[in-house]
Amino acid sequence: MRNSRSAKRTGRIFVAAVVSLGLFAAACSKKDDEGTTDGTDATEETVAPDGTDGATETTAAVTETTAAAETPVPGGELVVSGEAEVANPWTPAAMQCDSYCQQRARSFYDPVAAVGADLKVHGVLAESITPNDDATEWTIKIREGISFTDGTPVDGAAVLRNLNESGSGLLISGALVDLARETPGDPSTPFVSETIDAQTFKLFTGKNGDIANPVPWPGFDFYLCGQWGLIASPTYLDAVKADPTVAAQPVGSGPFMVESYAPRDALVVVKNPNYWQKDADGVQLPYLDKITFKVIEDSQTAAQALQDGNIDIMSTSAAQVISDFRELADEFPMTEQTELTETNYLLIDLAKPGPTSDARVRCALSKAIDRTELIDLTAGGILQPANGLFSPGQEGYLEDNGFSTDQDLEGAQALIDEYKAETGATSVEITYGHTADRIGDQVAELLKGYWEQIGVTTKVDVVPQDQFITLALLGDPSFFIYGWRNHAGLKIDGQNFWWNSASGTADGALSLNFGRVNDPVVDAALADARSNPDEAARQAAAETVNKTFAEQCYQIPTSWTLWGTPHKPSVKGLGTWVLPDGAESRDGAGFSGQFWVHTLWMGE
């Protein structure tokens, strides 16, 4: 369904406020036009179980305004601010993790692997990750001599146990349906594995978990970089089973150890004195003695805290805040993550009965939005309107996918009138939800105003940040449309579980397919994009998904994301961690708005 073009409204007013919560080959070289989270989605970003904000490969390029590298000085403390609290901390199997959750978890958990600056998978705990010729079997060898901070050895059995427990959990199992299980189709059963020695094991693919039907999966190793690949001490996991309250005292093998945790306030971690990795000069990592991770949900409040000296560093996708800090570069250097970015969009629960189950209503809501005005009023005018959930540079992106970003009130009204005439509806009423922040309020009022012009009545709900993901996962009765952000990355395989009907359960049950997309055309294209050995065929499959989403208005894109990480000049070492095999790490820890903490240090 192609939107017709219409004249833009004039008289745009800029407001000095911002919002919200990014990841991967930028399309534009002009920074002001590149993706950033805009106010449209007063939003929640959800990090995929593969660990890439819904993408198989990772995040953003960086523009750094700091000086040349200096010699790190061990010691010191750092105060970090992030936008959201985690639900169900801190076991890898249970965490309902957004970007800031991942940021904190990776201070005390090591992952099996991570994405490098070359956009390839490199082992962290793993010494090697090796597929067979058709990528249906994967051999994982864990490094020797590493221990969890409670003294438990990090060996093949410990890693395999974590992969089984996390991979059988409700949140992650949907992403791994093509990994062979002992009982096909039953995510509560372990994966089929073969132990080779104390440090080495093998996993096998299988359609819907059936080892008799292997699935070529060239991008499987990227999933080891995400939440599924975070490894906790088996001794700690046993303790959690005996006493669930112990979950708030996580034990990993990472560079830091948890000292204290106060939900919605602060997580305090202290240096792991026995961390296994050193820098190129032989100095043991990490450099810092202590990090306090504070939760400040409103980005403007966090920005003021940074300027007041109450925090040292923050990450934000609030475009106006990023715009403001661009003017303060001498006082507060800032990295910007701009490549292969997320999309800001309106997440629709397609399983909900009512108007939004009809494509005409969804497309009418989309046509009614003045994206340029929305960006001008809530995002400092620095974002690029999005024509879909595929950002420029991603596999499947199309400059013309049949979707217009122009406002078309006449076309929108015609669709609403057609819907009413056919269904006999006398009114169209919808519910829009967003998290609690000032820009979120402004976005909601703008959307409500656009939709009123075509006769749609909008109820606005403000949803607590730490409930946002949970309500979408469950298809809560209150969840109809949420302001959202997701789907960064390079390859479409990283989006498989977000859009595949196999992970889209009915409302009331956990569903990684938050929008409950159920389309056989999409399913077939996702399967082809996962396993087809021909790159051109995979690209064509991804483009099919893009066009189908555009035609059906399954979700309503608004803009592409930008993340900024402003900090005090005294914060050093951002983006300098070298992976164990000598490769440069991908800035952002493989996730939008994040940074590795191993090599941070405090200077003058």
Q: Are strands 563-566 and 334-337 parallel, antiparallel or unpaired?
A: antiparallel
Report how many domains make up the chain: 1
Residue 438: what are its φ and ψ, rounded to 5°? -65, -40
- Note whether residue 585 is domain-resident: no
For range 37-52, the mean pLDDT? 42
- DSSP H helical ranges for 369-437: 371-378, 409-423
| pLDDT surpassing 50 at residue 494 | yes
- Note whether residue 193 is domain-resident: yes
Q: Which CATH number does the domain housing residue 185 bear?
A: 3.90.76.10
Contact (Cβ atoms closer than 8 angstroms) between residue 148 and residue 276:
no
- Cβ-count burial 424-455 (b if 16+ within 10 Å, e if not): eeeebebbbbbbebbbbbbbbebbbebbeebe
Q: What is the pLDDT of residue 32?
A: 31
Q: What is the pLDDT of residue 534?
A: 86
What is the DSSP code (8-state) at residue 344? E
Tell me how far apart the alpha carbons of residues 94 and 529 are, in angstroms, rounded to a whole number. 29
Mean pLDDT of the chain: 87
Angle between helices 535-552 and 359-368 (to 10 degrees): 90
- Note whether residue 142 is domain-resident: yes
- Note whether residue 52 is domain-resident: no
Residue listed under structure tokens 């950002």: 391
For range 313-328, the mean pLDDT? 93
Residues in CB range of 120: below 8 A, 6 or more apart = 583
Q: Are strands 193-197 and 44-45 parallel, antiparallel or unpaired?
A: unpaired
Query: 498-514 pLDDT, tens per residue?
Result: 999 988 877 778 788 99
- Note whether residue 319 is domain-resident: no
Tell me how far apart the alpha carbons of residues 508 and 506 are, in angstroms, rounded to a whole number. 6
- Note whether residue 125 is domain-resident: yes
Q: What is the pLDDT of residue 590?
A: 53
Contact (Cβ atoms closer than 8 angstroms) between residue 207 and residue 131:
no
| pLDDT surpassing 60 at residue 29 | no
Tell me how far apart the alpha carbons of residues 170 and 396 are, in angstroms, rounded to a whole number. 29
Segment among 63-77, 198-212, 268-282, 517-531 with least mean pLDDT? 63-77
Confidence of residue 388 (pLDDT cuts 50, 70, 90): very high
Query: 398-407 pLDDT, tens per residue?
Result: 999 999 999 9
For range 362-386, the mean pLDDT? 95
| pLDDT surpassing 50 at residue 30 | no
Query: 66-93 pLDDT, tens per residue?
Result: 345 689 999 999 999 998 888 899 999 9
DSSP, residue by residue, 24-68: ---S-S-GGGS----TT---EE---TTSSTT-SS----B-----S
Contact (Cβ atoms closer than 8 angstroms) between residue 99 and residue 341:
no
What is the domain extent for residue 211? 110-231
**Which pTM was predicted?**
0.81
Contact (Cβ atoms closer than 8 angstroms) between residue 386 and residue 344:
yes
Query: 247-270 pLDDT, tens per residue?
Result: 999 999 999 999 999 999 999 999
Residue listed under structure tokens 């993408």: 55
